Amino acid sequence: MRTIPWSWYEDPEVARRERDRIFMRSWQYAGRTAELTAPGSYVATQVGGLPVVLTRDRDDTLRAFANVCRHRGAIVARGAGERGTLQCPYHAWTYGLDGCLRGAPRTRDDPGFDTDGLGLVPMAAGTWGPFVFVNPDAGAEPLEQALGDLPAVVAAHGLDVGALVFHHRVEYEIRANWKIALENYLECYHCQLNHPGLVSLIDDRRLALEADALRASQFNPVHADHELPAGAIPRGQFHLLFPSLKFNAQPGLPNLSIGPVWPVAPDRCRGFLDYFFAPDAPEEWIAEFLAFDDQVGAEDTALVEGAQAGAGSGLVPEGRLLAHDEQLIAHFQRWVREQLAQRPARSRSAQQPA
CATH of the domain at 48: 2.102.10.10
226 part of a folded domain? yes
Could you tell me the pLDDT band of residue 345, with boundaries at 50, 70 and 90?
Answer: low
**Quick check: 26 pLDDT over 80?**
yes
Which domain covers residue 120, as residue numbers? 28-139
Could you tell me the pLDDT band of residue 229, with boundaries at 50, 70 and 90?
Answer: confident
CA end-to-end distance (rounded Å), the chain: 47
Long-range contacts of the stretch 254-260 (C-beta < 8 A, 24+): 254/159, 254/160, 254/163, 254/164, 254/278, 254/281, 255/164, 255/281, 255/289, 256/159, 256/161, 256/164, 257/293, 258/29, 258/131, 259/29, 259/169, 260/28, 260/29, 260/47, 260/48
The better pLDDT of the pair 241, 59 is held by 241
What is the structure's pLDDT at 349? Answer: 40
**Quick check: 156 pLDDT over 80?**
yes
What is the structure's pLDDT at 230? Answer: 79
Residues 168, 292 within the same domain: yes
**Quick check: 354 pLDDT over 80?**
no
Strands 28-32 and 50-56: unpaired
Residues 306, 158 within the same domain: yes
Residues 102, 170 within the same domain: no
Q: Say whether 303 sits in a helix, a strand or coil.
A: helix
Residues 92, 121 within the same domain: yes
Domain boundary among 88, 121, 139: 139
169 part of a folded domain? yes
The letter for the amino acid at 66 is A
What is the structure's pLDDT at 346? Answer: 54
Tell me the mean pLDDT in the region 65-79.
Answer: 97
Q: Across-strand partners of 238?
A: 218, 248
- Percent of the chain surpassing pLDDT 90: 84
What is the structure's pLDDT at 350? Answer: 37
Residues 97, 184 within the same domain: no
Tell me the mean pLDDT in the region 207-225.
Answer: 93
**Quick check: 353 pLDDT over 80?**
no
**Quick check: 16 pLDDT over 50?**
yes
17 part of a folded domain? no
Q: Say whether 322 sits in a helix, a strand or coil.
A: coil
What is the structure's pLDDT at 206? Answer: 84
8 part of a folded domain? no
323 part of a folded domain? yes
**Quick check: 347 pLDDT over 80?**
no
Residues 56, 149 within the same domain: no
Tell me the mean pLDDT in the region 252-281.
Answer: 97
- The domain spanning residue 272 has which CATH number? 3.90.380.10
7 part of a folded domain? no
Residues 327, 197 within the same domain: yes
Looking at 109-113, 284-288, 327-331, which range is the least confident one?
109-113
Residues 66, 166 within the same domain: no
**Quick check: 332 pLDDT over 70?**
yes
Residues 156, 299 within the same domain: yes
Q: What is the residue-averaged pLDDT of the chain? A: 93
11 part of a folded domain? no
Residues 107, 198 within the same domain: no
Domain boundary among 77, 104, 139: 139
Task: Report the 3 state secondary structure along 212-240.
Answer: ECCEEEEEEEECCCCCCCCCCECEEEEEE
Residues 203, 245 within the same domain: yes
Nearest to 146 by CA among 9, 29, 57, 264: 29
**Quick check: 303 pLDDT over 60?**
yes
Domain boundary among 139, 156, 177: 139
Residues 82, 106 within the same domain: yes
Tell me the mean pLDDT in the region 26-53.
Answer: 96
CA torsion, ordered 101, 106, 108, 110, to nearest 10 deg: -100
345 part of a folded domain? no
Q: CA–CA distance from 289 to each of 51, 164, 203, 247, 353 (Å)?
A: 32, 15, 18, 16, 45
Residue 25's CB is within 10 A of a number of other CB atoms, namely 18
The answer to whether the beta carbons of residues 56 and 36 sit under 8 Å apart is: yes
Could you tell me the pLDDT band of residue 179, with boundaries at 50, 70 and 90?
Answer: very high
